[in-house]
A and B are shown apart, each in its own frame.
Chain A
Amino acid sequence: MNARNDRSAIVDQLRDRARFVRTETVRLSRIAGAGHYASSFSAAELFAALYYAELRVRPDEPTWPDRDRFVLSKGHAAIGLYPILADLGFFDAAELDDYTRMGSKFGDHPDMKTIPGVDFSSGSLGHGLSVAVGMALAGRVRNSDHRTWCMLGDGELAEGQIWEAAMAAGHFQLGNLVVIVDRNQMCIDGFTDDVMAVEPLADRFADFGWRAQRIDGHDLDAIVSTFSDLPRASRGQPQAIVADTIKGRGVARMELSLDWHVGNLAGDDYDDVIAELERGLGPRADVGARP
């Protein structure tokens, strides 16, 4: 097998796992009676690439001090993360069958105290990058070569604390910190361009001392190669990856829809959506649709 075939096989596997993220999101939402479908779907390829191709973690030793950290600042997408953690063996997948029920470890937002593999509790938007800065500083003081990854939503970039943390990361030259912005174009009330404009994102991170690049967040080839090309350095420019994605990606009725930030699929819709997801992603329809 040459390198190209290796990459192709990996991408095929990741595509399957991204599909798994989406179908599990649909299944778990049915258990709860509601779910953040669209915010999980936009991050499905990013989650899959992180956990199956990039992050240095030990499912049998979730608190391994030298593990790579992952802070899901957009905590409402945890419904897409739980199935991966179960699949990797951080906990028994059957535990997810009680998702959100009384006494479950698994709520809409992740709890680090109860869920092995969750590095920090999240849910209140705007906090995650500060957490990641703390973890990156801790890693440097401890002389650990672990990296800290943080996934931000684009809507939460309106939170001032994000930019306090971005400033600190640049100031402290946290070369061991990587941010992925799930730039799925929408917050709850509409397109970020209409509600609170966040662009130009790459320039903004660059202005805070980061190295920023922009990729198609549903293109697994691009994601994997971008991740693997990142330098592993304790000191240097922090890395920002602006991943252009589609909120609700994978289910036509949910893509860039105002109606599916939180929703519930009922009756035949459930089976229709599962069938649609099993067919895989079609071509992106959003390119050029919005500035």
Chain B
Amino acid sequence: MSAGNEERAGSDVQDTSEVFRGTATGSTSLRDDRSSDGSEQQRAIPAFVLGEELADLADHDDRIAVLTADLAKANRTSDFEARHPERFFNMGIAEKNMITVAAGMAASGFVTYAATFASFSALLGCEQIRTDCAYPHLPVRVIGHHGGMSMGFYGTSHHALEDLGIMRTIADLTVVCATDANHLRGVLRASVDHPGAMYIRLGRGRDPEVYADVPDVRFGEAIRVRDGGDAAIVTTGSEVHPSLTAADRLAEETGAQVAVYDMHTLKPFDVGAIAAAAGTGRILVAEEHNHTNGLGTATAEALFEGGFGDVALRRLDVPDEHVPVAPPAALYAHYRLGADGIGAALRDLLDA
């Protein structure tokens, strides 16, 4: 806990830039500190495109229906409700029921998107996802937003640092992390006709931009967002942006070129991308997840099973503990999951 103590001792004003304030009224006009003049709303709160993008898709596809569990404002499915009220269902604070109702609708021809905090969708609703969505091979897309520890001081009850590990253990379930707003749009577009059930993890809901345009997302195919031959960062979701920042800084400071792979699909896992990353000889995994059974575990499995056991592997993640009370930015710093921490780990790896 020494890093946390230093943080507390050395700072009079805590960094609240990533604090969850996502339940304000109003459908699309929420502002935060980074868009106080109103000019950067789209950029400042990008992942709130969830409801908007689904509404766009539903304009041309009458199979799409959306459900939430009393979080329509937090996840912006209210934007869908405003445009397609007949296909929007607020199920109240009853997540297990929501997921199974979504499965029942899917069995009647709908493609359903059921959204709530990742802690409640993937953890509370785990058995419903397995038994009612994945096992019957139904087009249910369970959205776990505010994944990882992005809820900060709301605490362990509202964190999901286990979701990717739990979800990727379920047979016939596609597991995807959205990286930023444009990537989320790409994920949603690709999800409509994807066979079987999906778990889609979203980050803070205002993740900084990685993709300038909507990427052509293909599930199971990683996207190399930065080239480099000296090492590779294998990362996903909220950690892609700080990984890119760290790699760019390192290049400026040392000339070292580090590739960055956005492993947006945890399952099916792109072992080919891991093999390519292994070509650099050094891999750093960065993920907002418990050390056990997330991206790092999947990467290690792919490396050893692919015959790349001699690659130097480092992992940045959350150790097997419940995280302390802190705003999100402080937690990322505490666990070295910000650009500074990733940069330091890269230097260690390159020196090894």
B135: A residues at CB distance < 8 A: 121
List B residues 56-95 near A (Cβ within 8 Å): 65, 86-87, 89, 91-92, 94
Q: Known: A134-B103, A141-B86. Is A113-B97 also a contact (CB below 8 A)?
A: no
Could you tell me the distance between the alpha carbons of A164 and B92 in the complex, rounded to whole angstroms?
Answer: 9
Minimum CB–CB distance from B128 to chain A (whole Å) comes to 7
Could you tell me the distance between the alpha carbons of A124 and B132 in the complex, rounded to whole angstroms?
Answer: 9
Interface pair A161/B97, CB less than 8 Å apart: yes
Interface pair A168/B101, CB less than 8 Å apart: yes
**Which residue, A65, A168, A172, has most C-beta atoms of chain B within 10 A?**
A168
B25: A residues at CB distance < 8 A: none
Could you tell me the distance between the alpha carbons of A18 and B145 in the complex, rounded to whole angstroms?
Answer: 49
Interface pair B104/A168, CB less than 8 Å apart: no
Minimum CB–CB distance from A119 to chain B (whole Å) comes to 7
**Closest residue of chain B to A138, judged by CB?**
B108
Interface pair B105/A137, CB less than 8 Å apart: yes
Interface pair B97/A133, CB less than 8 Å apart: yes
B101: A residues at CB distance < 8 A: 130-131, 133-134, 137, 165, 168
Interface pair A112/B107, CB less than 8 Å apart: yes
Minimum CB–CB distance from A177 to chain B (whole Å) comes to 11
List A residues 129-175 near B (Cβ within 8 Å): 130-135, 137-139, 141-142, 160-161, 164-165, 167-168, 171-172
Which residue of B65, B100, B127 is within 8 Å of A141 (Cβ)?
Answer: B65
A165: B residues at CB distance < 8 A: 97, 100-101
Is B102 engaged at the interface, CB distance under 8 Å to the other chain? yes
Q: Known: A127-B132, A131-B107, A135-B105. Is A141-B87 also a contact (CB below 8 A)?
A: yes
Minimum CB–CB distance from A122 to chain B (whole Å) comes to 9
Q: Known: A124-B127, A168-B91. Is A130-B108 also a contact (CB below 8 A)?
A: no
Could you tell me the distance between the alpha carbons of A17 and B102 in the complex, rounded to whole angstroms?
Answer: 35
Q: Known: A130-B97, A131-B132. Is A119-B65 also a contact (CB below 8 A)?
A: no
Is B96 engaged at the interface, CB distance under 8 Å to the other chain? yes
Minimum CB–CB distance from A40 to chain B (whole Å) comes to 21
Is A123 engaged at the interface, CB distance under 8 Å to the other chain? yes
Which residue of B65, B108, B128 is within 8 Å of A139 (Cβ)?
Answer: B108
**Which residue, A69, A113, A137, has most C-beta atoms of chain B within 10 A?**
A137
B159: A residues at CB distance < 8 A: none
Interface pair B96/A138, CB less than 8 Å apart: no
A134: B residues at CB distance < 8 A: 100-108, 112
A124: B residues at CB distance < 8 A: 127, 131
Interface pair B108/A127, CB less than 8 Å apart: no
Interface pair A127/B100, CB less than 8 Å apart: yes
Interface pair B131/A123, CB less than 8 Å apart: yes
A164: B residues at CB distance < 8 A: 94, 96-97
Is B110 engaged at the interface, CB distance under 8 Å to the other chain? yes
A119: B residues at CB distance < 8 A: 107
Could you tell me the distance between the alpha carbons of A119 and B105 in the complex, rounded to whole angstroms?
Answer: 12
Minimum CB–CB distance from A69 to chain B (whole Å) comes to 8
**Closest residue of chain A to B94, judged by CB?**
A164
Annotate A189-213 by CB proximity to B: 1 below 8 A, 0 otherwise. Answer: 0000000000000000000000000
Could you tell me the distance between the alpha carbons of A141 and B112 in the complex, rounded to whole angstroms?
Answer: 13
**Closest residue of chain A to B102, judged by CB?**
A134
Is A120 engaged at the interface, CB distance under 8 Å to the other chain? yes
A71: B residues at CB distance < 8 A: 104
Minimum CB–CB distance from A102 to chain B (whole Å) comes to 18
B255: A residues at CB distance < 8 A: none
Interface pair B86/A131, CB less than 8 Å apart: no
Could you tell me the distance between the alpha carbons of A93 and B263 in the complex, rounded to whole angstroms?
Answer: 48
Interface pair B91/A131, CB less than 8 Å apart: no
List B residues 109-161 near A (Cβ within 8 Å): 109-110, 112, 127-128, 131-132, 135-137
Could you tell me the distance between the alpha carbons of A139 and B103 in the complex, rounded to whole angstroms?
Answer: 14
A141: B residues at CB distance < 8 A: 65, 86-87, 110
Which residue of A69, A121, A167, A172 is within 8 Å of B136 (Cβ)?
Answer: A121
B91: A residues at CB distance < 8 A: 168
Which residue of A65, A121, A123, A168 is within 8 Å of B97 (Cβ)?
Answer: A168
Could you tell me the distance between the alpha carbons of A119 and B106 in the complex, rounded to whole angstroms?
Answer: 11
List B residues 230-272 near A (Cβ within 8 Å): none
A168: B residues at CB distance < 8 A: 91-92, 94, 97, 101
Interface pair A161/B103, CB less than 8 Å apart: no
**Closest residue of chain A to B100, judged by CB?**
A130
Minimum CB–CB distance from B131 to chain A (whole Å) comes to 5
Interface pair B109/A142, CB less than 8 Å apart: yes
Interface pair B108/A135, CB less than 8 Å apart: yes
List A residues 37-76 near B (Cβ within 8 Å): 65, 69, 71
Interface pair A113/B137, CB less than 8 Å apart: yes
Could you tell me the distance between the alpha carbons of A141 and B131 in the complex, rounded to whole angstroms?
Answer: 25
Which residue of B92, B94, B104, B110 is within 8 Å of A120 (Cβ)?
Answer: B104
Could you tell me the distance between the alpha carbons of A139 and B110 in the complex, rounded to whole angstroms?
Answer: 10
Other contacts beyond A65-B108, A131-B100: 18, CB < 8 A: A113-B137, A120-B104, A127-B132, A130-B100, A130-B103, A130-B128, A134-B107, A134-B108, A135-B105, A137-B105, A139-B108, A141-B65, A141-B87, A161-B96, A161-B100, A164-B94, A165-B101, A167-B92
List 12 A-B pairs, Cβ < 8 Å.
A65-B109, A112-B107, A113-B136, A120-B107, A130-B104, A131-B100, A133-B101, A134-B103, A135-B108, A137-B105, A161-B96, A164-B97
The interface of chain A, by Cβ under 8 A from chain B, is 65, 69, 71, 112-113, 119-121, 123-124, 127, 130-135, 137-139, 141-142, 160-161, 164-165, 167-168, 171-172
Top 7 nearest A-B pairs (CB, nearest first) are A134-B104, A130-B100, A138-B108, A164-B97, A164-B94, A131-B104, A134-B101
